[in-house]
Chain A
Amino acid sequence: MNFAKSGGKKSLKAKDKRVDPKNAQTKSQGSTLSKEDESLIEVIERAKEGDQPAFQKIVEKYRTQVASIAYKMVGDYEDAKDISQIVFVKTYQNLDDFDTTKKLSTWLYRITINASIDFIRKHKKHRHELLDNIFGELREKKADVEKIYQRSLINWAIKSSMGALNPRQKAVFVLRDLEGLDIKEVAQITGMPQATVRWYLHRARSKLRGELAKHHPQLLKKMGIKHEVQKG
């Protein structure tokens, strides 16, 4: 159940989509491009021609956002790194199919979400770096054991609550609430209507808070969050 597939094999048709960066306009906004957008399109065009430094520029520009989304989806830094690298490999292989009148970030985020969902399905897990983090911090910082333990418990509670969300709920929640994208962009990335995105968001937020209240009420209390069980 991946979101709208992004591109396939290289095709002649794709080459016709190439746009002269000087004349290019965004279809969605219908406004002229900024200088930054123009230079990005030039970089993409060069990368399409097989220019390695141009492709490296694209990786450099987007790697943090891509890895961030992957991490928030799977909950593990090593896995997030692997997924983000797979995303850029796929990007390289399908760059010919990318329409330069569209936003590259939207295309990349869609590949990231799909790759993350594939990973979660394959590994059937939402790993947490709880123990590694605790022992690592204790060794390095020699900080207050109780404080670190409490913080790790909070992390664990929240990450395990995130694990209760299904892939669609998790994807829209990560993109909207954790990455701060607007509903319209989330809809473009996931290929869902805006109303459906809102519905999944509502479900994700309610479920997340419900999970926290159900399984970790003491924790919320410690954090100063009182919870009353909703009736009806």
Chain B
Amino acid sequence: MKCRKVRKAIVNYADLDEPRRERVNEHLKSCPDCLSEFHLHQKSLNLVKQVINFDQPEDFWQDYQVDVRRKIPSLPLWQKFLGKTEDFASLIKTPLFGSIPAYVFSAVLLLFLAAGLYPTLSSSKPAKDLDSNLVVYEGELLSAIDDGGVTIYTVGTR
């Protein structure tokens, strides 16, 4: 390895891969000039590390958390409202259709419920299994036969 290449490699000595570092080390053993340059670089770097060291003053952390909380701006009203809306619009995971908005899910659920209840609520058919029934029919009564259990009325048209 030539001196020129070694001088460049010295700057990045800490980041060299193992084979390259070995080659630099081999060169340094036999080249006093490059070795001196290597020491110069290492000493300069160490000096910088020593000087630019985070050695905070004693009161550095005093009221630190309080200040952070104070610097967090409180949300304006419209953003709070938006947050509520986002919660309302949050997604619900369904097994069939995947993620759908909560309000859509609720609306569909209500529709299904309404559709299920509609026939029961709107039916005009008489209820089954009644013991007796009353049919009002306006017309001329022709006959009435009572067989003990049921009375059969025969009615003529008007």
Contact = CB atoms under 8 A, between A and B. Distances in A.
B1 interface: no
Contacts of A67: 54, 56, 60
B68 A89 contact: yes
A209 B4 contact: no
Contacts of A226: 36, 40
B71 A72 contact: no
A198 B15 contact: yes
Interface residues of B, number: 35
B48 interface: yes
A178 B60 CA distance: 20
B86 A12 contact: yes
- Grouping DSSP codes into helix (H, G, I), strand (E, B) and loop, the B interface class, with mixed when no group exceeds half, is helix
Q: Give the dominant DSSP class at A's interface.
A: helix
B21 interface: no
A105 B55 CA distance: 21
A158 B48 contact: yes
Interface of B: 4, 7-8, 11-12, 14-15, 36-37, 40-41, 43-45, 47-49, 51-52, 54, 56-57, 60-61, 64-65, 67-69, 71-72, 86, 89-91
6 contacts: A59-B65, A59-B68, A71-B54, A85-B71, A158-B48, A227-B40
